[in-house]
Amino acid sequence: MLSYRSRRALRRLGKFFLVLALLAAVGILCWFLWLNRYVVYTKDGVQFVFGGPGEFQPGQLAGTESVENTIYVEYEQTVPTEPPSTEMKQLSGYYITADELKGDLTQLKQQISQLPKGTPIMLDVKNIRGEFFYSSYVGNPASSVSQTAIDDLIAFLRDGDYYIIARLPAFRDYDFGRKNVACGLMDIDKVHLVALWMDISDGVATYWLNPDKEGTVQYLVRIVTELRTWGFDEVLFYDFRFPDTDQIYYTGDKAAALATCAQTLVTACSSETFTVSFTGADPTFPLPEGRCRLYLDNVAAENVLLTVEQAGITDPKLRMVFFADTNDTRYDEYGVLRPLDMAR
């Protein structure tokens, strides 16, 4: 064990070396500060230039080396295209009936492929039994057609940039009425039994839906929403009326009920590029506000002008469409759809 004197000697020696270390550190720091005055940064690195005490040397700006080979970039100047017009246009096209959708559709596609792009093409997508011709998630498939073939036809029309119109019955629907009795029109003789009136006028048993019922409107909105996802540009409701019979029990205002339902559908489903249209019982059917059209059938060519006057519709050339099975030019002043066979 070290003595007291030895420990004191070691402490003094340690303090001495500590002072020397501090003096050395201060000296080195001063030397670096003095040396920094003579540092010159160039593109080749760092150099020390001693030009005299306290004399700063002009620095050399490092720059990028010149490239001898020039690379030329070629590009094609494109002119931005305007967005597609959202204005309604006068229709002049063709329709495909439910019977024509049965069997092989190859010939239909060949006929359509000869038509210009943008040509309106209307096809039935649902029958009064409530069966869908395409692969629908809303209702049951129809056994009379091939859903796969119809799906392919819709894709063909969509990819060909045609204006596609879906046609379907509005209030005649056997399947939905059977499953949703509260949304149907009751038989006046069986009201106490809560039984729907059955329509067999076309040889096919079907029920009529009540346009006053929220369930009916929601059902139609679901169908339209699905058709929009398939790429259709317009939907046309036919049988948008009450049945011509006194056997139904209904105490409300029929005209007001139809007008309210039509306005709800247009408000809920139409847009700047999608149209919701109707086939009324007569040309006086009141079109709602919004993007919609009125389609009329069984109007003779000589009565076209009178029918337009009776309708009293603003912009009738755009918002009125006639079904015609002749080439009479009196239809052509307004919208007109003809059988696809007449496109040959």
Do residues 27 and 98 share a domain?
no
Of 81, 233, 80, residue with least CA distance to 161: 233
Distance CA 240, CA 285 (A): 10
- How many domains does the chain fold into? 2
Cross-strand partners of 238: 169
Q: What are the beta bridge partners of residue 33?
A: none
Is residue 83 one of the residues assigned to a domain? no
| Span 199-238, pLDDT tens digits | 998 889 999 999 999 999 999 999 999 999 999 999 999 9
Q: What count of other Cβ atoms lies within 10 Å of the Cβ of residue 275? A: 22
pLDDT confidence tier of residue 3, bands split at 50, 70 and 90:
low
pLDDT in tens, 111-120: 999 999 999 9
Query: Is the distance from CB of 94 to CB of 337 less than 8 angstroms?
Result: yes
Shared-domain flag, residues 248 and 307: yes
Residues 19 and 135 in one domain: no
Whether 61 is in a domain gets the answer no
Is the same domain home to 135 and 239? yes
Query: How confident is the model over 272-301, as pLDDT tens digits?
Result: 999 999 997 688 898 999 999 999 999 999
Same domain? For 25 and 147 the reply is no
Distance CA 7, CA 13 (A): 10
**Does residue 184 sit in the same domain as residue 42?**
no
User: Per the domain annotation, does 174 fall within a domain?
Assistant: yes
Please check whether residue 210 is in contact with residue 183, taking contact to mean a CB–CB distance below 8 angstroms: yes
- Reported as a single tens digit per residue, the pLDDT across 48-94 is 555 544 444 444 444 444 444 544 444 344 445 555 567 889 999 99
179 and 326 share one domain: yes
The pLDDT value given to residue 54:
46
Task: Answer yes or no: do 167 and 273 share one domain.
Answer: yes
Same domain for 41 and 152:
no
Residue 10 tokens, joined: 């070691």
**132-151 b/e with 16+ CB inside 10 Å = b?**
bbbebeebeebeebbeebbe
Is residue 309 domain-resident? yes
The verdict on residue 130 lying in a domain is yes
pLDDT higher than threshold 60 for residue 43: no
Rounded Cα distance between 186 and 121, Å, is 36
| 16: containing domain | 4-48
Q: What is the pLDDT of residues 162-208, one digit of tens each?
A: 999 999 999 999 999 999 999 999 999 988 888 999 999 888 999 99
* Domain assignment present for 236: yes
- For residue 84, tell me if it sits in a domain: no
Both tokens of 130, joined, read 């409530």
- Residues 179 and 306 reside in one and the same domain: yes
Residue 21 forms part of a structural domain = yes
One domain, residues 135 and 12: no
pLDDT tier, 142 (very low <50, low <70, confident <90, very high otherwise):
very high
